[in-house]
Structure 1
Amino acid sequence: MTITIRTATAADAALLARLNDHVHALHVEHRPDLFTPSPDAAAHFEEQITAPAVTVFVAEAADGTPAGYAVARIVHWPGNTFAVPDDVVYLDQLSVSPDAARTGVGSALLDAVRAHGRSAGCRRLTTAVWHFNEPARAFYESAGLSPMNQQMDQLL
């Protein structure tokens, strides 16, 4: 599949919300205590697209069909007594349309995020993935990412 990656514009907010639907449904299914079933996702993406440290990428098939998106955030960590300063590109979200799964869309989006981070002077790419999302964890590990830490959770 030929894939084109472009930067999202405000006009893409509703499209991004639709591309996010299946991922959000997975989150709601596994963690209904944390995720609302009916978010105003378009408004969320409008905010993301205009945030200064955020770049949103859209993947399109050769015929222009939207195939996925990625949200990248540049994070400047000033460091402290225990940790060195660091600039990282944080992959906040990545979603591939189920119709485009396993066609290289996710890899193309990840490559765009990496290139964006490098051009911003970042030293590392980081992301978070839910423990229940085994396909995403497998994708990231096959793309060369490795576990960095593990967040734990308990309802009180």
Structure 2
Amino acid sequence: MAGLFRRKKPVHFFSVAEQDKIVQAIKAAEKLTSGEVRVFIESRCRFVDPIDRTKELFAQLDMVNTAERNGVLVYIALKDRQLAIYADEAIYTRAGKDFWQEEVWKMLRMFNKEDYAEGIATVVIEIGEVLSQHFPYNAATDKNELPDDIVFGN
């Protein structure tokens, strides 16, 4: 897996402040819930449908193994201008199809204004709020199952 992903951010896209804003949104969202939120950004989507790529990454990032099946992956392919949100089975049905579609549209609206970091951060926080309704944070039992950093692909 190490060869597939690189941790270094693309210098040309996010400033340090923008990257920090997204990471802080992930951390804030996860303080509300036992759920896990990840953000994956790459240049090109290898699939026609970005949800197919997101499903593949969800498995590769080991998100299928969260204890409560409540992980969510936000995926963006910058050059191809594609994005998707993939939620594990336990949270997808509880939040409802309309919620997930609205979050994608919200991100698209902000991206159209070229406010990428804010769009990602806003959606991540809202995902955390929905996760908290169904999988609230429990200080006694919760552990951070996955890293909170942004994952950058090729």
TM-score normalized with structure 2 length: 0.31
TM-score normalized with structure 1 length: 0.30
Q: Which has the higher strand share?
A: 1
Structure with the greater relative contact order (CA < 8 A, sep ≥ 6): 1 or 2? 2
Q: Which has the higher helix share?
A: 2
